[in-house]
Structure 1
Amino acid sequence: MSENASNELTVGQRFFRELTTGGTALTLLSILLAMLIGAVLIVVSDPDVQGTAAYFFSRPTDTLLAIWESASSAYSAMFAGAIIDFDAASVGDALIPLADTLTYATPLIGAGLAVALAFRAGLLNIGAQGQILIGATLAGLVGFGMDLPAVVHIGFAVLAGFLGGAIWGGIAGFIKAKTGAHEVIVTIMLNHIAALLLAYLLTTQLFRREGQAAPISPFVADSAALPRFFDGSRLHLGLFVVLLAAVYSWWLLSRSTMGFRFKAVGHNPHAATTAGISVGRSYTAVMFIGGGLAGIAGASQVLGTESYLSTSIAGELGFDAITVALLGRSSPIGTVAASLLFGALRAGAVTMQAQTGTPIDIVLVVQSLIVLFIAAPPLVRAVFRIKVRAASPMAAEVGGKAA
């Protein structure tokens, strides 16, 4: 295709070409391949399939039917637990699985954005876990420790969560900028410090719930609790907060001067320095903002989902956020989509295990396989026989000049 013809492609045509030959296609095929392997694992672990396999050569149809029944029932149950339950008694009950998916995805979006934003600046933010914990701690403290009007209380609590995560992330960025210490080591150590700090605070009189031996905080005040959308579900207003954070992240990276600096530093810090961009300042700023996004995720957990602080308030969110950012290819839109996928897998896995007896660990294997295939594009191309699109002469010329 000539250069002029390429320029004349419509938006739809460019989108279709990217969907079928670019990174989007590899992502979708990676998910498909992981789901197929997951189906194999479901079938192999099914006792009914194992039983019919013993007489496969005399009655092969029994084994084939058992294989189909095993895989289809497991994934049908996962769909019913993650998207919509057609057997529910009412429309509200039918949509509860979708609400559960969105509830699981809400903190993942915020934490995933924190990791993705750092990736774009060339940093490996492994500290989202600690940033979530500190954000949740400060948001919880404002939530149960202050008496304010409802709207003001929620705003102050979310802001406290943002500032807590931002300060924790900014510390890592500042150390990286001033000393050159590797951000992976610094953020991992800060994760441990945050976890131990929260564990200690929950033993103090300020944070510990009266009359409870377990290390848990008082419930956040009703005026600070993020409103839930309907009864029977934990889905709350935090979903809109993290979606607004995603919109801000997109604007930051695509439309702002600061975002341009972040991407320039991530692409080539030496060239960015030559162009007059302060690499150290960019490192500190991107970790500050990213930490704040993770802090919002922590605030959504304590103000919306759990309603109180505990040592397990963050779960494994910080580490799942790394996976989500990788799957989303470090873009805000991709991170949101990846978070929704992982939220659906987590919500559906519970129903799948309850209805079919399929081990919930298979979902964890599927998640790991998705990331593995995302990280190995040649493998996916080889499986599906996808040819690598040749670069245009102009792209090759620009690439040669850049080299």
Structure 2
Amino acid sequence: MSALRPLPRWADVVLLPLLNLALAFIVSGLVVLGIGHNPFMAVWAIVTGAFGTGYGIGYTLYYATNFVFAGLAVAVAAHGGLFNIGGNGQAYVAGLGVILVALALQDTHWLLIAPLAILAAAAFGGFWAFIPGWLQAKRGSHVVITTIMFNFIASALMIYMLNRVLKPAGVSGPESAMIAETGRMPKLGQFFAPFNYTPVNFAIFLAIAALIGVYVLVWHTRFGYALRVMGQNPTAARYAGISNSRMIMLAMALSGALAGMVAVNEVLGVQSRLVLDFMGDVGFVGIAVALMGRNHPIGIAFSALLFGALYQGGNELQYVISGLDRTVVVIIQALVILFTGAMEGLFRPGLQRTLMLFSPEQSAEALERATVKSES
């Protein structure tokens, strides 16, 4: 029997993730059925909660914006053969850069504050990721270990900053001063009535620009080519004259800068101040987003939208179906991560065999075998 051929690009990027996603939802449906509820009603409640109203769409896009940044941060590192799981810490420290710029320019219009805040977020987040990159490139420390430890360091640092440095007088909670109204990133609800009372803001356009920018950088620049070569074969990259240590540090810095954009969305666009744990678990969800999106900006965009819908739909689920709450959505998310990440190759051999049956080469071989058999 002939060896299995690699999947075509379209099947690997589109068809295989869809099959894994379908399996995740089927198993999720069985879980919902097992606890005594109609799985079709649960899915319908999630879909309508996420996309049924302008309010739901606004929240879905707000969550998706964060997931795009986090997913791109993981993807850029992954193309270089690196696994950055420190997105939470990088976004957290980037919030410090955003709030320092916003408070320093308190009486300035947001059109001036926003570009400087973006640069500050990129610098702070990039620096926080550069250190683990430097440790791996120069000292041999693995970024998986250092990035996750830097999450804890970032948490301790921000607790200190919010309680001892940034907290204004008369405020009891650990938070910074509020950003002036003129300095905040405008919300889309100010221009599109259906998005009223939702947190989606102009940072969504920054997310779109990041998707385009990462695509161009990774697939249409010398840096991107060197990054992908290093990720696929570090030894070949070194013999080709690529400095792996330099690429590791640059890739991690860029990854951290992208994670830092979460702070622009949250601090400048939503919270209007720096608060504890504003980023939630977005850094870890970004890993699932990147895995499901095959580390490609187009895939990440759709994957981020799916996870945004699950978050928003899950929040609405408990109000629609009594006895079901967001825990069900956490189960769905876990199954999506399981089947699109850890078990992403489950359908691969079967899909390869199926596509080979319809390939011209296979058809020619079958015709040749039939001819030989008839002649004999």
- TM-score over 0.5 (shorter chain): yes
Structure 2 equivalent of residue 197 of structure 1: 157
Q: Cα gap change, 1:79/1:18 in structure 2, threshold over 3 Å: closer, same or farther?
A: same
Mapped contact 2:13–2:293 kept (Cα < 8 A): no
Q: Which of 174, 177, 187 in structure 1 is aligned with 2:134?
A: 174
Indicate whether 1:373 and 2:339 are aligned.
Answer: yes
Q: Cα gap change, 1:355/1:209 in structure 2, threshold over 3 Å: closer, same or farther?
A: farther
Indicate whether 1:362 and 2:332 are aligned.
Answer: no
Mapped contact 1:115–1:124 kept (Cα < 8 A): yes
What letter matches 1:162 in structure 2?
A
Q: Which of 12, 16, 23 in structure 2 is aligned with 1:22?
A: 12
Indicate whether 1:151 and 2:141 are aligned.
Answer: no
Structure 1 equivalent of residue 369 of structure 2: none
Across the aligned residues of Structure 1 and Structure 2, the Cα RMSD in angstroms comes to 2.1
Structure 2 equivalent of residue 350 of structure 1: 315
CA separation in 2, counterparts of 1:378 and 1:299? 36
CA separation in 2, counterparts of 1:186 and 1:212? 34
Mapped contact 2:187–2:199 kept (Cα < 8 A): yes
Mapped contact 2:110–2:185 kept (Cα < 8 A): no
Structure 2 residue matching 1:319: 3-state secondary structure: helix
Structure 2 equivalent of residue 130 of structure 1: 89
Mapped contact 1:117–1:330 kept (Cα < 8 A): yes
Mapped contact 1:139–1:157 kept (Cα < 8 A): yes
Count, aligned residues: 344
* 1:104 CA drift (Å): 0.6
CA separation in 2, counterparts of 1:150 and 1:381? 49
Gaps of 5+ in 2: 1-6, 190-195, 362-376
Gaps of 5+ in 1: 1-14, 50-69, 85-93, 394-403
CA separation in 2, counterparts of 1:30 and 1:255? 30
Structure 2 equivalent of residue 268 of structure 1: 233
Q: Does 340-349 or 368-377 show the bigger shift?
A: 368-377
Structure 1 residue matching 2:154: 3-state secondary structure: helix
* 1:223 CA drift (Å): 3.0
CA separation in 2, counterparts of 1:117 and 1:167? 16
Structure 2 residue matching 1:203: 3-state secondary structure: helix
Q: TM-score, normalised by structure 1?
A: 0.81
CA separation in 2, counterparts of 1:36 and 1:302? 38
Structure 2 equivalent of residue 83 of structure 1: 51
Q: What are the Cα deviations for residues 32-76 of structure 1, in whole angstroms up to 9, with x where unaligned?
A: 111111111112213xx6xxxxxxxxxxxxxxxxxxxx2222122
Mapped contact 1:157–1:224 kept (Cα < 8 A): no
Structure 2 residue matching 1:259: 3-state secondary structure: helix
Taking CA–CA contacts closer than 8 Å with sequence separation of 6 or more, which of the two structures ends up with the larger relative contact order? 2
Indicate whether 1:34 and 2:24 are aligned.
Answer: yes
CA separation in 1, counterparts of 2:303 and 2:79? 17
* 1:63-142 superposed matches below 5 A: 70-84=38-52, 94-142=53-101
Structure 2 residue matching 1:204: 3-state secondary structure: helix
* 1:31 CA drift (Å): 1.2
Structure 1 equivalent of residue 207 of structure 2: 242
* 1:385 CA drift (Å): 7.1
Indicate whether 1:300 and 2:290 are aligned.
Answer: no
What letter matches 1:294 in structure 2?
A
Structure 2 equivalent of residue 341 of structure 1: 306
Q: Cα gap change, 1:158/1:377 in structure 2, threshold over 3 Å: closer, same or farther?
A: closer
Mapped contact 2:109–2:182 kept (Cα < 8 A): yes
CA separation in 2, counterparts of 1:321 and 1:361? 19
Structure 2 residue matching 1:379: 3-state secondary structure: coil
Structure 1 residue matching 2:347: 3-state secondary structure: helix
Q: TM-score, normalised by structure 2?
A: 0.87
Structure 2 equivalent of residue 316 of structure 1: 281
* 1:316 CA drift (Å): 0.5
Indicate whether 1:188 and 2:148 are aligned.
Answer: yes
What letter matches 1:372 in structure 2?
L
Q: What are the Cα deviations for residues 87-132 of structure 1, in whole angstroms up to 9, with x where unaligned?
A: xxxxxxx312111100011111111101110000000101111110
CA separation in 1, counterparts of 2:64 and 2:39? 25
- Which 4+ stretches in 1 moved above 4 angstroms? 388-393
CA separation in 2, counterparts of 1:101 and 1:252? 27
CA separation in 1, counterparts of 2:80 and 2:167? 39
Q: Which of 108, 121, 133 in structure 2 is aligned with 1:161?
A: 121
Structure 1 equivalent of residue 353 of structure 2: 387
Structure 1 residue matching 2:186: 3-state secondary structure: coil
CA separation in 2, counterparts of 1:112 and 1:23? 16
CA separation in 1, counterparts of 2:297 and 2:268? 24
